[in-house]
Structure 1
């Protein structure tokens, strides 16, 4: 059976006994450009935020994101679930350690980026840390309580340059589309506007390379308001539901209004790509 764990970035799944138990991780996100064939090393810091000793196990997984931005982790048996999984590029040392209350432990990581990644493009993986207390006996009654805390650091790796293999040119591609625009009325004069954007390229789109807005126009074409869309990292081969909120002014006349979604993405070479879509909304 396919083994996948859903984990929202920086969410801790924590079931604790009477004493405080948990771990924290720094950093939570690492975004790198790497030359094909190169290696990169660094450290992650895990802190036992409780008072009781914890056994920490380090694990490596590939990942991709759901349309809601939830990482879907890929383990060894699921390697074919995502073409850009980088699970086999990342190693962690040590594989486990015991942390006393308040102790900070460094875990060394190493990434080896292949000379010719197949398919060519970015690679996406995670360092996961799972902690359990050394003492799992309940304070009363002798029953056992399972305590699990998981945190993750996500790695976003992009090739720093294209490759030329004989007569073949392997390029960094930024392609995309606005598949649809979801409009949901959540109050009498409040709408959530959610464009669904798909990254059809081979590298992730960084939040810093992303810009977007929803322009609301009257039936006559006059601009009513321009609503910013919050930028996000969007992995290749995945879709993301972007969102903005329109609070309709009380003095705005009822009627049908046009929504124009504009998304601008800057590729690794500095060129800008514009995507747009339109729909209507009825204001009561």
Structure 2
């Protein structure tokens, strides 16, 4: 069985290598050193300190209240538990409103131990991506359902089902890669659309509710463990603790299912 401890420490260029070799990338969220250590020891390649912490750790109804200071604190904690996995930090709501604000927050996250930052959307965010990349900060883009847009979207809904919306997503995926992003998260996107974007993309895609054809998968750790977060359980979530029997077993089961292509299956994807 492959685990991240079998390999060299992950670097940003290795993400493109994995896509070229057809090897699935395994990503999970973490918010502290202890969980981060378990994730790395059981096959996780990429660890995300997500603004999901606002909902699953802080108990908010959305990710909007999360601050730069919150993310920076948790990045420091998680970084202490990792040796080889690539650590990614979310730019929280408002932190990427301008290129300068995004740079200040990103610099803080990299100094805390992150190797890449993630931001949601395209449009004016393309300028932000270019600004960060020009200043040596690797960027992961995030398209589809973007939780920081929950007020505009009117809730957490599948994106790209209509032809016009699908065409916009395909174009945005092309544009974020062209702007310099080196990784792309696709959230709550119909499987066929995510597959088309992945095959056309020059950068690896990470799916969450986006079908099995993405170059990798991500889940929120609390969802993988079947924890009651006080929020509706999305269709794409699977409780791996039930079959893994322990925290380590759950992460191992998830990692193996992602690499084999067994997860997500049709029951955990959108048409």
Q: Rg bigger for which structure?
A: 1
Q: Which structure is higher in strand share?
A: 1
TM-score normalised over the length of structure 2: 0.23
TM-score normalised over the length of structure 1: 0.23
